Structure 1
Amino acid sequence: MGAAMYPINMRLEGQAAAVVGGGSVAYRKIKHLVAEKATVVVVAPRVLPEIEELMASGRVIWQKSTHEEFRWRYGAFRLVFAATDDFAANAEVCRQARAAGALVNSATEPKDCDFFVPAVIRQGELEMTVATGGSSPAFARLVKADMEKRYHPGVGEFLEWLGTARKELLKTVEGTQRRQKLWRQAMKQEIMDLILQGRMEQAKDEVRKEISGAGAESSDSTGGDQGKI
């Protein structure tokens, strides 16, 4: 069993990341970093044409050098990806970057990673990730494909509707604990079953039933925690 990892979602907009390598693995890393609006410095003597095309985004800078020539600059980056096909080179990048205070990810040695990049499923504001601790990225992609079929776009649409319903509840029901109780009552497994079956309106009706009359009931109460949930 690998070391336990603490899962987080990191905001990368405006943050600097370095990707050492110019091949297909590096390209996948760079593409996702650009999508998250990070500033990416690519360290490699040569890069794929696809990487050169990403430079048009204005977020990718190509440093035409080897990792030996570039290593002293790693302290400028929050994340460093060692994405060459050379085990020794990746190990050296990880050592140098970690010593400079960056978090590192190795494409060739999971044990040398401070973090892993999970497969991501997004449906609207709903975000789910699949990680295997570096054991098998291919299996993570397989699970991701299965989850994308199960958690269809309607799930994200339902979450958007819940956001609107939550705002209405904030107006009509006083007290954090009372609102939390209502949401716990509403978020039942039956609701998820309806959503996954595509029966969105029925799911909404069931939620409405659980929280209906809440405003009238709360008007009889006194005091209570006025915080937000």
Structure 2
Amino acid sequence: MYPVSLDISGLLCVVVGGGKVAERKVLSLLEAGAQVRLISPQLTEALHELAVAGRIDWLARYFQSGDLRDALLVFAATDNRQVNEAVAREAAAAGKLVNVADAPELCSFQVPAVLHQGDLSIAVSTNGKSPALAARIKKQLEADYGPEYALLLELLGRIRERTLVGIADGQARRNLFENLLHEDILRWIKNGQWEQVRSHLRVVLGPDADF
């Protein structure tokens, strides 16, 4: 599998199925800003609320040929193996990326377990062999990568925008950011020692740096 992060904001993704697995797929797609088309005669309560609110396009029927038109990503998440296989076949024939619940051999992509801390994303994939193991590893990572990483990344993003415009040399940029990442900076942020953080940034960026 080739790992990649996709910008799916505003793009159509189709989910076939209306149960709990489909619900998880839909919620993650909406979180990423996708346009979601959901195909199922029945929905969970949460999915029905999303449909009533107009947040998803619900086709209240079984899957039909042509339902994957214009989709970037396709998710087959029914409890019917034959339906899932039909969705996978049509997606493959149309050259679309498809994920089939509990059938890694039918998938052209897998959805990893993902830990989010702000703009930091850490994905764990087992190539579909053990989602449970991926979830366990993700839980272990949560203890090591707390909210301080989100704050640090936000700070580094602001510094990049404000200070690197005039630095053309790539090595100089790399050196600057390596110097910013003091071995104690995460501890300072986690403990709320912001004056120590500011002092360090002034040493690296100069006393007049705006951050």
TM-score range, shorter chain: 0.7 to 0.9
- How many Å apart are 1:200 and its aligned residue? 5.5
Give secondary structure in 2 for the equivalent of 1:115. Answer: coil
Residue of structure 2 aligned with 1:24, choices 15, 20, 27: 20
Which range moves more in the overlay, 197-206 or 152-161? Answer: 197-206
Listed one character per residue, the Cα deviations across residues 175-212 of structure 1 (whole Å, up to 9, x for unaligned) are: 33322223234446x34774696476456655654x25
CA contact (8 A) 1:105 1:114 kept: yes
Residue 79 (structure 2) aligns with: 85
The CA deviation at 1:29 is: 0.7
2:66 counterpart SS class = helix
Q: Distance in 1 between matches of 2:32 and 2:56?
A: 12
User: Does structure 1 retain, via aligned residues, the 8 Å contact 2:124–2:134?
Assistant: yes
Structure 2 length-normalised TM: 0.83
Unaligned runs of 5+ in 1: 216-229
**TM-score, length-scaled by structure 1:** 0.77
The alignment status of 1:152 with 2:146, answered yes or no, reads yes
* Stretch deviating more after TM superposition (86-95 or 179-188): 179-188
Native 8 Å contact 2:148 2:190 kept in 1 = no
Deviations 1:203-228 (CA, angstroms, capped at 9, x unpaired): 6655654x25699xxxxxxxxxxxxx
Pairwise CA distance, 1:148: 2.0
Once the two structures are TM-superposed, the CA of residue 40 in structure 1 deviates from its matched residue by: 1.3
Aligned counterparts of 1:174 and 1:20: Cα–Cα separation in 2: 49
Identity of paired residues, percent?
36
Cα offset for 1:171?
6.0
Residues 1:208 and 1:146: Cα distance change in structure 2 (over 3 Å): farther
Change (3 A) 1:169 1:146: same
Residue 133 of structure 1, aligned match among 127, 132, 146: 127
- Give the structure 2 partner of residue 180 of structure 1: 174
Q: Please identify which structure carries the higher helix content.
A: 1
Larger Rg: 1
User: Is contact 2:152–2:186 with CA below 8 Å preserved after alignment?
Assistant: no
Q: Is 1:47–2:43 an aligned residue pair?
A: yes
CA displacement, residues 61-91 of structure 1 (integer Å, 9 cap, x when unaligned): 2212222xx1223232111101012222211
Residues 23, 48 of structure 1: 8 Å contact kept? yes
Q: Any stretches of 5+ residues in structure 2 without a counterpart?
A: none
Q: 1:206 to 1:108 in 2, by over 3 A?
A: same
Matching residue's letter, 1:28:
R
Q: Distance in 2 between matches of 1:171 and 1:14?
A: 30
Secondary structure, in 3 states, of the residue corresponding to 1:122?
Answer: strand
Which 10-residue stretch deviates more, 27-36 or 156-165? 156-165
Q: Secondary structure at the match of 2:99?
A: strand
What is the rounded CA distance, in whole Å, between the counterparts of 1:38 and 1:48 in structure 2?
Answer: 20
Is the deviation greater in 121-130 or in 177-186?
A: 177-186
Say what the alpha-carbon RMSD is for the aligned residues: 2.7
Of 13, 27, 34, which aligns to 1:38? 34
What does residue 11 of structure 2 align with?
Answer: 15
1:166 maps to what in 2?
A: 160
Q: 1:105 and 1:120 mapped to 2: Cα distance?
A: 16
Any idea what the Cα deviations from partners look like across 1:107-144, whole Å, max 9, x if unmatched?
Answer: 02112111111222222222222222112222222222
Count of paired positions? 207
